[in-house]
Structure 1
């Protein structure tokens, strides 16, 4: 396969990225509430733990699922209500959809907020879900008190070049021919760090290769390249809990006077919440203290 310049592709792709009544409720092996809600006739799976007047709503990134927030649910449930959802197309949520763009995914997050009657919500979005939770926050500024990106928003304000757009299109085309091979290469070469443990690599790659390919490819293809308009609409501080295996360029945020706070989980890859959960939770505590 032709080299797809995956580090460049990764840097771009990580930045792309009607309500009903609650249904079917049960509990998982840890006695956490596990249920399904609906948006546009599609089931959305979620876990709901803890109690508090503030809710932490966690949204996973590309090709993974709500289970990646298990350490955060365990850590924060003694003080906060903690909800984690599976975006449609991923995990246990429904997959019968053709729209995988930011605005559609954002309505899924908004549906969770409304149907679960969540109060004082802090939205946390990993990877492609940074843009999703940003749009969801803009949709419901009265309900969202904080916005946290996890290993995303690393270089805003610059649109992709024609060459980079070509790379992305080429990668998507290759995924359509052999999703497992291309996606696995992308993760191995662009998303893991030398410190990423073998069990974590295997867990992530297993989830990737078993992803619904229509949802995965559609998510990448339909995500917007540019988050600038949405960032300019969000008037509150943007919190970033990022890894440092790639540069964190905040030049555009500074230039446009967008309030932000950058917190680093060092020496990990693209999945700090599972690679270094204790350090991630410590940085999340900093965010919550700052919000208060």
Structure 2
């Protein structure tokens, strides 16, 4: 684990692989996790290329922000962290909220996006407002551990007790205030109109049993982004990178071979 200072805040990140790559793989986590969710991917891709996973402000090893952040704020902080690490361009792989942030990064500085990998995410969620209300109502009167325990069945299909326990433990440590603003930032996003304007090579990934962001939402992404490729991961739910890491990693490998 490493720390870099961005606008007065410590931002946590993990980095693997060769330092000479000009366009590393940058992994962006979801609203209920942190950079640790990418451990399998960092280990795998770090064998052949530079890979980095960031914590958003308020998550993992990053400092708590003084005020609520927007999607734009989070994207800007990732770009500034890249500046501090002398990274000009990157291949952005975002899962769930991470996909929303990857699209926001494209909005802000598309010239820095070598490619997009949008996993288990969406352009506009049809029940996003309801998800925000249910989530915030629940954590008002319950702990984050209670919330994580309640949510795990909707996030994963794997019955691996160790992986499930790690997901619950990670979510239970999230600051409630940070989770609240991040929940609004992700589920209230509406990026549908920008999709036809995306020119970066794009891979869309979705677990075949993803409940929070069903396959239809990934199909919508892929059908509206020019030349986007859609891969459905079998035996996987919303956290497809954890449910079936081998298939998830292979889909990215095949994509990278095709575009590089």
**Offset from partner CA, 1:180-224 (integer Å, 9 cap, x none):** 36623552342122x331111111111112211110122113433
Are residues 1:141 and 2:110 paired?
A: yes
Give the aligned partner of residue 39 of structure 1.
Answer: 6
Q: Give the structure-1-normalised TM-score.
A: 0.78
Are 2:105 and 1:98 aligned? no
Q: Distance in 2 between matches of 1:97 and 1:126?
A: 25
Q: Which has the higher helix share?
A: 2
Give matches, 1:115-264, under 5 Å: 115-153=84-122, 156=123, 159-160=126-127, 165-166=129-130, 168-180=132-144, 183-184=147-148, 186-193=150-157, 195-223=158-186, 224-246=188-210, 247-249=214-216, 250=218, 252-253=220-221, 256=224, 258-264=226-232
Q: CA–CA distance in 2 between the matches of 1:188 and 1:149?
A: 21
C-alpha spacing 1:77/1:41, structure 2 compared with 1 (3 Å):
same
Unaligned 5+ residue runs, structure 2? none
How much has 1:157 moved relative to structure 2? 5.7
Alpha-carbon distance, 1:97 to partner: 3.1
Q: Quote the offset at 1:140 in angstroms.
A: 2.1
Residue 82 of structure 1 deviates from its aligned partner by 0.8
Q: Structure 1 residue 177: deviation in Å?
A: 1.9
- Bigger radius of gyration, 1 or 2? 1
Q: Aligned equivalents of 1:150 and 1:99: distance in 2?
A: 25
Please give the root-mean-square deviation of Cα atoms over the aligned residues, in Å: 2.3
Distance 1:255 1:39, change over 3 A: same
Aligned length: 253
**2:28 touches 2:94 (CA, 8 Å); kept in 1?**
yes
> What stretches of structure 1 of length at least 5 have no aligned partner?
1-33
